[in-house]
Structure 1
Amino acid sequence: MKYSEISHFSHPQHKLRFDYSEFPFKCDGCKEVGIGSRYKCSICDFDLHMHCAIPSPSIFHPFYTKCSFQFLGKPPGDIPRYCNACEKDVSGFVYHCKSCGFDLHPCCAKLPMVLDDGEVKLYLYKKVSSPCHRCGRKGRSWSYRSTCKKYNLHVACVREMLVESWHEIYVGRSKGRTLETSIPSLKNTLQTAHKRRSKGKVRKCCEMGAFAVQIVISALLGDPTALIAGIIGALISRA
């Protein structure tokens, strides 16, 4: 549900207004990267993902049928915690299951079970036995896999791409660069070997794999919209 203006416990000084940004931002709630739809305080430059601004008090997830995840404003306890979906540290807002000890970033908790941009349809799995299209390893974190089973992407790997690129993204934003130049090229992202394929088939395979990457990135950024996916897709096509 979208409201034009909200009050939020994490920023009681001012109201937050709905905004749409084509520039990457850092969410002040979960501390993760975002883009697109957000709630923003223009006075304090305070930003929240949609999922962080209007969270569900509690959620259930099909991967953890015995768990009840409660929304918390900070990680529980004093020990470091990590997200069970993407394996990245939890340092802000989190969905936590008290009985099992599992944690999910708000955006990871709300990842769609199916992503479909018209070119590639991807299904979310807790674990996949086939190797990741980027790192070449099996297992690990949650994964998106295409219907044809040719493209498998660890959520952790895509999250790492964003973390590795955050400095360049943020510096690009501060210098007023456009989105097309502030998000780094995704060249060399797809590392699956294609030694036995013709050049044309390799190119087509990588192009389709790139579509898969772009829509997973969009979902992890908290706004899997056609606009964002299209912009990132244009970058990949030039890589």
Structure 2
Amino acid sequence: MRYGELITHFSHPQHKLRFEYVEVPFKCDGCKEVGIGSRYKCSTCDFDLHMHCALPSASINHPFYHKCSFQFLRRPPGNTPRFCNACEKDVTGFVYHCNLCGFDLHPCCAKLPQMLDDGEVKLFLYRKVGGAPCLGIFVSAACHRCGRKGRSWSYRSPCKKYNLHVACVKEMLVESWHELYFGHGGGTTKNKKLETRIPSLKGTLQNHHRSKSKVKKCCEMAGLAVQFIISAVLGDPSAIIAGVVGTLMSK
């Protein structure tokens, strides 16, 4: 993909979509989920797609579901409400669906990297906090956000200090960006800066350390971990989220 590249997409045949990079959140018109970073956009209609929604695979397999074959669908099958098995959030648009098991995955959830690594922090994707990635081995670990071990897919560091459910990350984003998607604030630049501020986990991390220096260091490392996880959940693990680096966890 090259910056400015144009594509034609079945969901928006009237105009071509241009590849670009943005550091403010957008709502994908394909899967209806939040995105950031790389996207395909129609400037005429203000139509946006995640990369994974703009260039989907017809079918995929996933290491967490060895017996499943997921097919890409423009809308969820049937008339009953469906949810994503990765993040537990509603499926209302593009989806990967397994006819055999009935499992559903948002396109970005289906393409979450098994490992995030920037040279300092490594995070591994687990089907459940408490289990080993792609294996049936279980060890003690709890999500920093909710304190639970079960629930949705999770990212965890090898040292087990940093654990976050994919579902909890999405809840954090919804809390931060509520005004953006429910019509309050008018979408001005000032409001967007406020809405890209991610809630701090400092309070939960303080429960693990009494020393202020350890809390600060833990917060700094957790801030990096959260940044990588948020970028991955929003469809672009390489994205640099404005205002997050260096300030997310330490304040």
What residue in structure 1 maps to residue 137 of structure 2? Answer: none
- Displacement, 1:154? 0.7
- Displacement, 1:188? 3.9
Q: Deviations over 1:130-154 (max 9, x none)?
A: 1101111111111111011111111
Are 2:71 and 1:59 aligned? no
What residue in structure 2 maps to residue 174 of structure 1? Answer: 187
C-alpha root-mean-square deviation of aligned residues, in Å? 2.1
Are 2:250 and 1:200 aligned? no
3-state SS of the aligned residue for 2:71?
strand
What residue in structure 2 maps to residue 10 of structure 1? Answer: 11
- Displacement, 1:13? 0.9
2:175 aligns with one of 160, 164, 172: 164
Q: Deviations over 1:193-239 (max 9, x none)?
A: 536531111221122112111110010111111533x7422440453
- Displacement, 1:8? 0.8
CA contact (8 A) 1:22 1:179 kept: no
- Displacement, 1:189? 6.1
Range with bigger deviation, 155-164 or 94-103: 155-164
What residue in structure 2 maps to residue 104 of structure 1? Answer: 105
Alpha-carbon distance between aligned partners in 2 of 1:110 and 1:236, rounded to the nearest angstrom: 25
What percent identity do the matched residue pairs reach? Answer: 68
- Displacement, 1:22? 1.7
Alpha-carbon distance between aligned partners in 1 of 2:63 and 2:186, rounded to the nearest angstrom: 37
Are 2:231 and 1:218 aligned? yes
Tell me the amino acid that sits aligned with residue 31 of structure 1.
Answer: K
What residue in structure 1 maps to residue 135 of structure 2? Answer: none
Alpha-carbon distance between aligned partners in 2 of 1:45 and 1:154, rounded to the nearest angstrom: 31
1:73-112 counterparts in 2 under 5 A?
A: 73-112=74-113
3-state SS of the aligned residue for 2:230?
helix
- Displacement, 1:20? 1.3
Range with bigger deviation, 144-153 or 91-100: 144-153
Aligned length: 238
What residue in structure 2 maps to residue 149 of structure 1? Answer: 160
1:135 aligns with one of 146, 153, 157: 146
CA contact (8 A) 1:96 1:103 kept: yes
TM-score, structure 2 as length reference: 0.87
> Aligned pair in 2 of structure 1 residues 226, 12: CA closer, same or farther (>3 Å)?
closer
What residue in structure 1 maps to residue 33 of structure 2? Answer: 32
What residue in structure 2 maps to residue 187 of structure 1? Answer: 200
3-state SS of the aligned residue for 1:68?
strand
Alpha-carbon distance between aligned partners in 2 of 1:97 and 1:231, rounded to the nearest angstrom: 38
> Aligned pair in 2 of structure 1 residues 53, 189: CA closer, same or farther (>3 Å)?
farther
Alpha-carbon distance between aligned partners in 1 of 2:169 and 2:107, rounded to the nearest angstrom: 16
3-state SS of the aligned residue for 2:244?
helix
Alpha-carbon distance between aligned partners in 2 of 1:196 and 1:24, rounded to the nearest angstrom: 33
CA contact (8 A) 1:17 1:40 kept: yes
CA contact (8 A) 1:194 1:202 kept: no
CA contact (8 A) 1:172 1:182 kept: no
| Structure 2: 5+ residue stretches without partners | 131-140
3-state SS of the aligned residue for 2:240?
helix
Range with bigger deviation, 117-126 or 25-34: 117-126
> Aligned pair in 2 of structure 1 residues 199, 211: CA closer, same or farther (>3 Å)?
same
Alpha-carbon distance between aligned partners in 2 of 1:94 and 1:233, rounded to the nearest angstrom: 32
Tell me the amino acid that sits aligned with residue 212 of structure 1.
Answer: A
Tell me the amino acid that sits aligned with residue 41 of structure 1.
Answer: C
Q: Deviations over 1:50-88 (max 9, x none)?
A: 000000110000000100000000000000000000000
TM-score, structure 1 as length reference: 0.92
Tell me the amino acid that sits aligned with residue 19 of structure 1.
Answer: E
Tell me the amino acid that sits aligned with residue 134 of structure 1.
Answer: R
